[in-house]
Amino acid sequence: MIKFAGYTLALLGWMSPVAEARYIGPLLVKETSTGFVVAEDSKTEKCEVFAQKTVFTTNFGGVGNLTGVWTKNQTLDGDLMTLIQNARKQKLVNQPGAVDGPSVRYYAWMINPDDSVTRVMLYDENGGTGIILSNRSSEARVLKNVLDSLCPEMLKGIGPAPIP
């Protein structure tokens, strides 16, 4: 159960006496891709963190285009929405990165009072364009660390350039 802005996010059918949010999607997401490689070596991965589970999806390129999906149960408890709301306040820093390389993207979903959601970018290393967008807030760093801990086998971004 996650509490935010006077609401209680209840998943898996549990009912709360407080107003219940209807958003049932992931709260944190990490996506990676191998970049420009031959089709047989291409791979994209998505790790979606919910309050009660983490879902991994891997798409393998080449002949057959195989997809693997697996789920790991865990409990994610704490004031996640406040971290996401505070991360949203930070402007993204744009810096150059490698071109034609892998891509790594971290983002969170902020649940609004009307149950709509807003995507909050934490980090986006686009190997296709060579642009890195980085949220340098301490809250974004915490959320990225959660994703890296719950999705340990995935690529990691190079990280933001030092602050001058």
pLDDT tens profile 91-138: 999 999 888 889 999 999 999 998 899 999 999 999 889 999 999 999
Predicted local distance difference test score (pLDDT) of residue 158: 59
Are 34 and 116 in contact by the 8 Å Cβ rule? The answer is no
Q: Which of 144, 9, 148 shows the shortest CA–CA distance to 83? A: 144
CA 136 from centroid of its chain's CA atoms: 15
Predicted confidence band at 160 (pLDDT cuts at 50, 70, 90)? low
3-state secondary structure (DSSP) of residue 151: coil
User: Residue 138, Cβ neighbours under 10 Å: how many?
Assistant: 11
The whole-angstrom separation of Cα 147 and Cα 41 is 24
